[in-house]
Amino acid sequence: MPSGPSTGGYLQIVAYLLHWGLFGTLSVQTYLYYLAFPNDRRTVKCIVYGIFIIEVVQTILVTHDAFSIFGYGFGNFDSLTNVHLDWFTVPVMSGVVAFAGQAFYAYRIGILSRSKMVPSLILLVSLVSSVAAFMTGVYSFQIGNVITLAQSSKTSIVVGIWCGAAALGDIAIAVCMTYYLSHRDSGYSSTHSIVAKYIRLTIETGSVTALIALLNVILFFAFPGKGYYGTPALLMPKLYANTVLVVLNARMKILGGRGVYTSTFDDGGLGGSGGRLRTSAWVGQGGHCKTCQCNHDLESLTTRIQSSDTKVTTPMTMRFGLGSEGGWAPEGRHASAENARFE
């Protein structure tokens, strides 16, 4: 297999294809979020749409570089090793998106732990990673060549800090979220399925981003003259953006789909009961549960009616920091364990 710039060209093509594919996934997820959660808090919407705008800009700039390398610069090896706009699209934008994503998780951990120390430490690690990413962008712009980039000692230091701190933050988030979520499990089948789902999502998303960050730094130091590190580095911003949308969109419910737990209830003639991918209880007169035809108070099912009309909240999912802000249900007053207000 050929080495040097030609091999780097192969990997750059793969990186561009994966990058465009992840942008397509992000676009679909953002559109689904727009349709499903119009009542989320303005802060959450700003994070989601702000990240998407950044990713749109990055994709445009990356596409420009792809045409410059494989279109206008076809056959020119210097175009393969030139930094082009990668100094901005890779480290700088990755630092911004990674900080936004990890800050979002830190906020959720703060709600779960009811402590400021743990999220503050995560934010500190994320800030260090972002600052190192910005410095990497500055040094990359100054050097201007992806092959000689790893030969600079100061660049090697900041790249190590950037990717190492990013991986450390992702691992810390996965561990903390798993620990605090497991301690919020009430033991009921309704809430247990929700807790298990978010633990799985946290571990999966955190593992992917941490693995890519570690792969980036390993390739950077193991193959200093090859430029192999550019492939995972180009994917990092899109992966962070997609993980945020994956967690937020996990609250969506599929009518008639397959769920871990599905309850049947009298919906007051509003059309349909079973088959909803949701964990629900129907509230009758006096605040008693009619789902299982028993007389216990609904608070024991971890669902509390906030007002005498239709507005409902779920204490456990409010502590997750997830859910729609409105939380309004139709006349049947269904209390959904996943569709709580974002507080």
Pair 312, 278: CB distance under 8 Å: no
| pLDDT computed for residue 190 by the predictor | 64
13-40: b (≥16 Cβ within 10 Å) or e: eebbebbeebbeebeebbeebeeebeeb
206: Cα within 13 Å, side-chain hemisphere: 21
pLDDT of the residue at 304: 37
> From the first residue on, what is the mean pLDDT of each consecutive set of 10 residues in the chain (343 residues)?
49 88 96 93 93 95 88 72 85 92 89 89 95 93 81 87 91 88 71 77 85 89 79 89 91 69 38 36 39 40 37 37 37 36 40
What Å distances lie between residue 134 and 23, 48, 267, CA to CA?
22, 22, 54
Q: Which of 61, 93, 64, 82 is nearest to 9 (CA)?
A: 82
Fold (CATH) for 5-249: Rhopdopsin 7-helix transmembrane proteins (1.20.1070)
How high is the pLDDT of residue 8?
Answer: 54
Average pLDDT score, the chain: 74
| Confidence (pLDDT) at 313 | 36
Residue 17's φ and ψ, nearest 5 degrees, are: -65, -45
* CA distance linking residue 136 with residue 45, whole number of Å: 30
* Domain residue ranges in the chain: 5-249, 253-343
Tens of pLDDT, residue by residue over 314-341, are 333 333 444 443 333 333 333 333 443 4
DSSP helix/strand/coil, 335:
strand
What's the pLDDT score for residue 72?
A: 76
Instruction: Supply φ then ψ for residue 334, to 5 degrees.
Output: -85, 130
CA 130 to chain centre: 17
State the pLDDT at residue 189: 67
